[in-house]
A and B are shown apart, each in its own frame.
Chain A
Amino acid sequence: MKLSVQVNEGPYQHQASDSAYHFTKAALEKGHEVFRVFFYHDGVLNGTRLTTPPQDDRHVVNRWVELAEKYDLDMVLCVAAAQRRGLVDEGEAERNGKDATNIAPQFRISGLGQLVEAAIQSDRLVVFGD
Chain B
Amino acid sequence: MSDLFTVNKSPFEKNSLEAAIKFSLAGSSILMIEDGVYGAMKGTAAEDMVKGAMSDRKVYALKSDLMARAIKDDRVIEGIEVIDYAGFVDLVEANDKVQAWV
Residues of A in contact with B (beta carbons under 8 Å apart): 1, 3, 15-16, 19, 22-23, 25-27, 29-30, 32, 124-130
A16-B8, A127-B100 as given contacts; A22 in contact with B64, CB under 8 Å: yes
The count of chain B contact residues (Cβ–Cβ below 8 Å) is 19
Between A and B, 10 residue pairs with Cβ closer than 8 Å are: A1-B93, A25-B85, A26-B85, A32-B93, A124-B97, A124-B98, A125-B98, A126-B100, A127-B100, A130-B8
Q: Chain B: which residue is nearest A15 at the CB level?
A: B34
Asked if residues B89 and A26 are in contact (CB atoms below 8 Å), the reply is yes
Return chain A residues, CB-CB under 8 Å to B8.
15-16, 19, 128, 130
Asked if residues B98 and A23 are in contact (CB atoms below 8 Å), the reply is no
Asked if residues A22 and B85 are in contact (CB atoms below 8 Å), the reply is yes
**B33 CB-CB contact with A under 8 Å:** yes
A15-B34, A16-B8 as given contacts; A126 in contact with B85, CB under 8 Å: no
Q: Which chain B residues (58-90) contact chain A, with CB distance < 8 Å?
A: 64-65, 84-86, 88-90
A25-B85, A26-B86, A30-B89 as given contacts; A129 in contact with B102, CB under 8 Å: yes
Interface class of chain B by DSSP: helix
Q: Chain A: which residue is nearest B33 at the CB level?
A: A19
Per the bound structure, the CA–CA distance linking A130 and B101 in Å amounts to 8
**B92 CB-CB contact with A under 8 Å:** yes
**Of the candidates B35, B85, B89, B100, which one forms a contact with A32 in the assembled complex, judged by CB atoms under 8 Å apart?**
B89
A19-B34, A25-B85 as given contacts; A126 in contact with B98, CB under 8 Å: yes
**Of the candidates B84, B86, B92, which one forms a contact with A124 in the assembled complex, judged by CB atoms under 8 Å apart?**
B92
